[in-house]
Chain A
Amino acid sequence: MSVGSFTSLFYFDIGAFLFFTMAIAWRKSLFGQVRLLRANAIALFLLGLLSGIYAKDAALIGLSIVILLVRAYGIPTIIARAIPHSGDQWESTRVVNTTASILIVAAITAFAYILTEPLVALNPTKRIASLPVGVSALLIAVFLIVTRRRIATQLIAFALFDNAISACAFVLTEGVPLVVESGALLDVLLLIFVLVALASNMRSQTQSMDIAELRELHE
């Protein structure tokens, strides 16, 4: 693969990654968000795959396949189980409304450019030039974590956060060492698993899926 075609494919893919992230911020349907998360993870997988093919690194390609399995299949599937199949499947009560969310997302993107400028300057390769995109996705995920009230959306935001970090890792360094990445993957998988288990526990106890109602423990 030539440098040019790799770069353009890479840019295209990471753009798609960011697009899916933003779309989650916009979408209200919980199942729709899960589908977008899948798409987001697939874009991440492609980032890894592209880097692996470009660097002719079999381990990286293998890692991307694991990513595909865990992040595009495993995690969204588990999260989907936390969504009630009957009743409210919409994120209707947001802390920040949709319009504001989208505007904030735009602001975050601008902020990400400013933030990453010195990093990009450090090693001005073409691949790293796309770092602001990855960081934007990451900041959007953080934004989602702190503003979403449904258990499922919080889980989705967490998954997005992890995806975005992995994306940044691909942009920066062609992925972190295998053992670390796989450990991280396992952790994220377990984390989502634990959270879903806790969520089902809570649902059986309180009949609520709104974390804003978790107010029994306070000062």
Chain B
Amino acid sequence: MNASDLLGLIVLLPILVSVALYFFGWNGATQKMEVVSVLAIGVASVVIYLDSRHGKLLQFHNLLSGDALTAILLGLTCVVSTMAILASREYLERHPGDQTKLVQSNKGYAMAMQIFIAAMTLAVVSDNLGLTWVGIEATTISTAFLVAHKATTKASEAAWKYVIICSFGITIAFFGTVILYFSAINSGMSPANALVIHDLVKNASHMRNNATTLGLGLLLIGYATKVGLFPFHTWLADAHSQAPAPVSALMSGVLLSVAGGVLLRISEISRLSIGHKVFSDVLMTMGVATIVIAAMLLVRQKDYKRLYAYSSLENMGLIAVGIAVGSKIAIYGLIIQIVGHGISKGIVFITTGHIYDELGDTSIDSLRSLSHRSPILATFAIIGTVGILGFPPFLLFGGETSIAFGLIRSHDIIALIIVAGALLIAAISIYRHGIAMLFGPVGPGQDTRPFSIKTRATLMLFGASLLSLLLGIDGPNVTTIARAGANAIGVSL
């Protein structure tokens, strides 16, 4: 088997696993297969990274390709997916759905999860804008059932809003793809290559025209939907708050960043063709607006899952700002940001999942005295939150700092001040709610029983925390990898 076949394999494998799940049900064997299919992504990530270090681009029939950025995103997918799949077991044990209905059964859940992972992987390894679009849209469809898995009215509502808003945006991206294709063909590219990202990058300098601008603009706003950027940010909190915790972890930690990765690729085409100005102005506006909105909605938040959803939004806004800046330091920063956010958010959402399982309520007011009722969960919630807020030694610290430096260097001081102000408001709000939840007194009539957590779940969260800490400490390798990632999209000034 050729190394480049690995690209196809990792997309195919989860699909095969979901087929197996359909036929054999969700049992011990298929549960192992789930993990294997995800670990394969990790293996591929390593292989692709090692190959990219020799300047080799893995390619699979003009459709899939792998470079260092791919490897980073795949690695993140592997880590968070593993966490999500392991956490799903507890979730499913606690929340057995109607097993007669496929979409509510354990089997259906596991299948949707695998297809979701396959779709994300496809969006990451795709070298073809059309295929990327297919992958991203497929994530929407596969997660729709996952979001609605709890089968409550709220869950259905969230799923509906999620699918409608995301599809709206993603369809705009499809229109953008068509326009870009037209532009590429007009500039003399063959129809077979006109959507291949790497070829578009090579040919970009010949595509300096209005059609490209329009196409890129539409792609931008389209994929921004999936990143959760303003004005398409409205689905995110609903979907994240209603989805089962492992799904929230995967959506927030990986899916948003995968879409961010697509934006990053598009930004490269944009930089080389129409110049960065229009594209980055639009993206900057969207990113800053997203951060501000997220911060404002955090202030009086009443639901702890929404709280973390908006914190994801805030981090995605920062990533968007980083892409908009587009300089070396900003790109490094956002790559680190993506990885750090993914793992920390994974920890946080899975922890909130365990809390919800015990509490049965996601409102902030219902959760009090967590530090006494479960020191373990409290610890992981703190570790995750501290990571998300950009405290050292976690990765996000470097990410936020670099993006701030990048903003100054591109003379976007006003943007930086707005962003810093919004981050301040966001952090203060999280502190306020966090202190109330961790230490606040239990109200009259609320029960005070301690929460239980399985050793298996503790170990998994511990492993993830350790990983996030190690990544924070291992500066040299993280730098090398982030540099390789930035090189992959042509930023190595």
Contact = CB atoms under 8 A, between A and B. Distances in A.
Contacts of A118: 210-211
A212 to B, nearest CB: 12
Interface in A161-219: 161-162, 165, 168-169, 172-173, 176-177, 179-181, 183-184, 186-187, 190-191, 194-195, 197-199, 201-202, 205-206, 211, 214, 216-217, 219
Contacts of A173: 178, 181-182, 185, 191
Contacts of A219: 237, 297
Interface string A90-119: 000000000000000000000000000011
Interface stretch (B72-80, B84-92, B144-152, B323-331): B144-152
Nearest to A195: B163
Interface stretch (B125-133, B407-415, B475-483): B125-133
Interface in B152-167: 152-154, 156-161, 163-164, 167
A101 B383 CA distance: 53
A184 B211 contact: no
B493 interface: no
Nearest to A138: B175
B209 interface: yes
Contact of A177 (B152, B163, B183, B192): B192
A23 to B, nearest CB: 21
Interface residues of B, number: 52
Contacts of A187: 134, 137-138, 141
Given A191-B140, A217-B238, A197 B103 contact: yes
A217 B241 contact: yes
A70 interface: no
Nearest to B297: A219
Nearest to B215: A119
B153 A184 contact: no
Contacts of B185: 173
B214 interface: yes
A26 interface: no
Nearest to B153: A205
A51 to B, nearest CB: 13
B291 interface: no
Contacts of B128: 179-180
Interface in B213-239: 214, 237-238
A12 B154 CA distance: 47
Nearest to A158: B167
Contacts of B177: 176, 180
A205 B156 contact: yes
Interface in A50-108: none
A147 B67 CA distance: 43
Given A194-B141, A198-B144, A177 B195 contact: yes
A206 to B, nearest CB: 6
A122 interface: yes
Contact of B144 (A121, A154, A194, A206): A194
B178 A168 contact: yes
Nearest to A146: B168
B174 A184 contact: yes
Contacts of A195: 160, 163-164
A201 B103 CA distance: 11
Contacts of A181: 130
B492 interface: no
Contacts of A194: 141, 144-145, 163
12 contacts: A168-B175, A172-B178, A172-B179, A179-B128, A180-B133, A181-B130, A190-B138, A201-B148, A202-B160, A216-B157, A217-B242, A219-B297
Given A177-B130, A187-B138, 20 more contacts: A119-B211, A122-B186, A123-B186, A165-B171, A168-B179, A169-B178, A172-B178, A176-B195, A179-B130, A179-B131, A184-B130, A186-B134, A187-B134, A191-B167, A198-B160, A202-B153, A202-B160, A211-B164, A217-B237, A217-B241
Interface of B: 63, 103, 128, 130-131, 133-134, 137-138, 140-141, 144-145, 148, 151-154, 156-161, 163-164, 167-168, 171, 174-175, 177-179, 181-183, 185-186, 191-192, 194-195, 209-211, 214, 237-238, 241-242, 297
Interface of A: 118-119, 121-123, 138, 145, 154, 158, 161-162, 165, 168-169, 172-173, 176-177, 179-181, 183-184, 186-187, 190-191, 194-195, 197-199, 201-202, 205-206, 211, 214, 216-217, 219
